[in-house]
Structure 1
Amino acid sequence: MRVYDFDETIYDGDSTAHFFFFLLRRHPGLVRFLPEGGLAFLRYKFGSWTKTQFKERLYRLFQGVEDIEAEVAAFWAAHRTGIKDFYLAQQAADDLVISASPRFLLAPICADLGIHHLLASEVDPQTGFYRGLNCWGDEKVRRYLEAGYRLENMTDFYSDSFSDVPLAVRAKRAWLVTGMDIQPWPGHPMEA
């Protein structure tokens, strides 16, 4: 089984940030949520809030969107071209995507691509509140195991971020994705 991070790995950019700005362009009144999001960002950067707390406050913007599912569909209609060619060329039926981005945002594009295995942050699309922790770092390993997947079945892991070391070190082979460049994960003892 090949396991992929999503943002900056198989998608060219940060899908959550792209979706956030997509919403702001389509619904300018959502700017009313920005001061609170900016303050949350500062609290996160200075260490008084966790990443989950920061994102949850930022995601309150979703409360100002009447039909979030329609907005997600419109977003992917405009951004599907962001899926990287390397992924489309090697895609397999048992691929798994694991991401810190919200599940409600990634589920439609994964379904469209034929990706049947998705683990992501559980965020309520109506309120922006998390159900559990941000799916990031060690939490990705916990979610992977909790979902019943076996580490020994992870043949390859792809990510753009060293925050994914906890999964990368457990894969038989790990790949660092930088833009369109894919290199062996630094220091990983690649198995044949």
Structure 2
Amino acid sequence: MNVYDFDNTIYYGDCTIDFWKHCVKKYPKVILAFPSAIVFGILFYLKLCKKEQFKQKFYAFLKYVPNVQYEVEIFWDSNIKKIKMFYKKQKCANDVIISASPDFLIAEVSKRLGVQYIASKVNSITGILESPNCYGNEKVKRFREQYPYENIKKFYSDSISDIFMAKEAKQAYIVKENTIKEWRV
């Protein structure tokens, strides 16, 4: 089994930000949630609030989107092309995508790719996080809950915050744009 981080690893960019931009274009009221997200973004940067608090304020934009699932489908219709070629060439049916991005976004792209996923559980109507952010050591915890006996053959990520997952794999790789290098941990 191979495991992949999603944003900036097998997807060019951050799908959550791209989805937000998609929604702003169709539903300008989405911008009403932005000032609060900026304030909490600054607080998070200054280490005065937790990442989950910031993300929840950011996801508040969802309340201005009338049918989130429909928009997710339209979003992936036009953004599936941002999946990196290296992944398309080596994709296997037993791959797992593990991401801090919201599950309502990752579920749809995983279905289209024909792979499994683990992601942050976010209510797509309210924007409320329903689980801890799937980040850092939480990724290992969530992976082991879902796959307690599976061995990770290869793990790919763009971020050193995924070192805990990298340590779980027989081989780990760091991805920067289209360059993939062995990650010795």
Scaled to the shorter chain, the TM-score interval is: over 0.9
Partner of 1:90: 90
In the alignment, the residues of structure 2 paired with residue 130 and residue 32 of structure 1 have an alpha-carbon distance, to the nearest angstrom, of 20
Unaligned runs of 5+ in 2: none
In the alignment, the residues of structure 2 paired with residue 32 and residue 63 of structure 1 have an alpha-carbon distance, to the nearest angstrom, of 10
Give 1:27 deviation, angstroms.
Answer: 1.1
Unaligned runs of 5+ in 1: none
Amino acid at match of 2:148: Y
Give 1:148 deviation, angstroms.
Answer: 2.8
Aligned pairs for 1:22-171 within 5 A: 22-115=22-115, 117-150=116-149, 153-171=151-169
In the alignment, the residues of structure 2 paired with residue 31 and residue 144 of structure 1 have an alpha-carbon distance, to the nearest angstrom, of 34
In the alignment, the residues of structure 1 paired with residue 148 and residue 20 of structure 2 have an alpha-carbon distance, to the nearest angstrom, of 31
CA contact (8 A) 2:5 2:157 kept: yes
Give 1:78 deviation, angstroms.
Answer: 1.0
Structure 1 runs (4+) greater than 2 angstroms displaced = 148-151
In the alignment, the residues of structure 1 paired with residue 47 and residue 136 of structure 2 have an alpha-carbon distance, to the nearest angstrom, of 17
Give 1:170 deviation, angstroms.
Answer: 1.7
In the alignment, the residues of structure 2 paired with residue 92 and residue 21 of structure 1 have an alpha-carbon distance, to the nearest angstrom, of 30
Partner of 1:20: 20
Q: Does the residue aligned with 1:98 lie in a helix, a strand or coil?
A: strand
Give 1:140 deviation, angstroms.
Answer: 0.1
- Give per-residue Cα distances to partners, 1:37-96, cap 9 Å, x unaligned: 111111111111111110001101101110001110111111110001100100111101
CA contact (8 A) 2:19 2:75 kept: yes
Give 1:5 deviation, angstroms.
Answer: 0.3
Q: What is the aligned length?
A: 185
Q: Does the residue aligned with 2:108 lie in a helix, a strand or coil?
A: helix
The normalised TM-score by structure 1 is 0.94
Partner of 1:172: 170
- Identical counterparts, % of pairs: 38
In the alignment, the residues of structure 2 paired with residue 94 and residue 80 of structure 1 have an alpha-carbon distance, to the nearest angstrom, of 19
Q: Does the residue aligned with 1:169 lie in a helix, a strand or coil?
A: helix
